[in-house]
Every structure is written in C-alpha cells, then in structure tokens.
Amino acid sequence: MLIGQLAERAGVNPKTIRYYEEIGILAAPERTHAGYRVYDESNVELVTFVKAAQRLGLRLDEIKEILAFRERGEQPCAYVRDVLRREVGEIDDRIAELQRLRDELSALDRLADAEPGPGDGDSGPCPLIGHARESPRTARTP
C-alpha cells in the first residue's frame, strides 16, 4: 500500500508518516520503481501503536526507545512501566493541585455569590487568583 492508504488506515496525515520516518520512528520502507513508499499491514499496526502510546502520554522519543527494545527482541514493558509510573506521578501532583483548586473554586463561587460588587483594591486583580499565590506549579493540558 502507498503512503496515502497507510495514513488513512492509521488515521493520520501522510505528512505524519514521512515525519515519523524522518525522526526514526518508522524505518525507511521499500520504494516502487517511481520512488513511492510501499507499506504493508505491519506498518498500519506500527503507526496505530505509536498513536496508542501517544494517547498514554508518551513522547515520540520515548516511543522510539520502546520500538528499539522490540528491535533487540526485548520486552520493553519494564521501561514502559517506568515511563508510565513517572507520568502517573506527575499527573498525581497535577490531580492533587487541581483538586485543591476545585475546592477553592467552589468555595469562592459561594463567596462570590454571597458578596458581589465591583472594586479592585485589596487583593489583586482577582481574589480567586490571589489564593493561588503560594501554590506549586501547575501546567496545562495542551
């Protein structure tokens, strides 16, 4: 199959396939006489795998690592588990922070309902955010 078919079957852009090849996620495939890339079912499988791994929050360089394990005939699960555990740890922090924020937010929701009116002198632009002053960093879902 050609790049367009692979892309469609895996649900990605053909450009993405070439990009994966460029960064070493996919091996350079056979070409037709005309120079067209030729793929088979295993490539569909592979791209689908990459996308699944991405959904778990893995970066392409990590996925590449994992694929290298396979290359060497090793089970990458230990590595994968490390990566995922790290990820889960990071997310735990974020979850905790968000939980805290959510509690604060609903508390302030009630507060704001009870005590409305304009004015911006005392606690910065928004008292909501003033509460976050000492909290650790929290990043955004991209």
Among its own copies, DNA, none, partner that 121 touches (CB below 5 to 8 angstroms by kind): none
3 binds DNA (CB under 7 A): yes
Is 94 a binder of its own copies (CB under 8 A)? yes
Nearer to DNA, 5 or 123 (CB): 5
d(CA 37, CA 51): 20
Interface residue with DNA among 26, 45, 59, 89 (CB under 7 A) is: 59
Q: Please report how many Cα atoms fall inside a 13 Å half-sphere around the Cα of residue 10, on the Cβ side.
A: 28
- For tokens 């090793």, what's the residue? 74
Say whether 37 sits in a helix, a strand or coil: strand
In angstroms, give the least distance from the CB of 92 to its own copies: 8
Q: Which of its own copies, DNA, none has residue 90 at its interface (CB below 5 to 8 Å by kind)?
A: its own copies
Q: What is the Cα–Cα distance from 125 to 119, expressed in whole angstroms?
A: 9
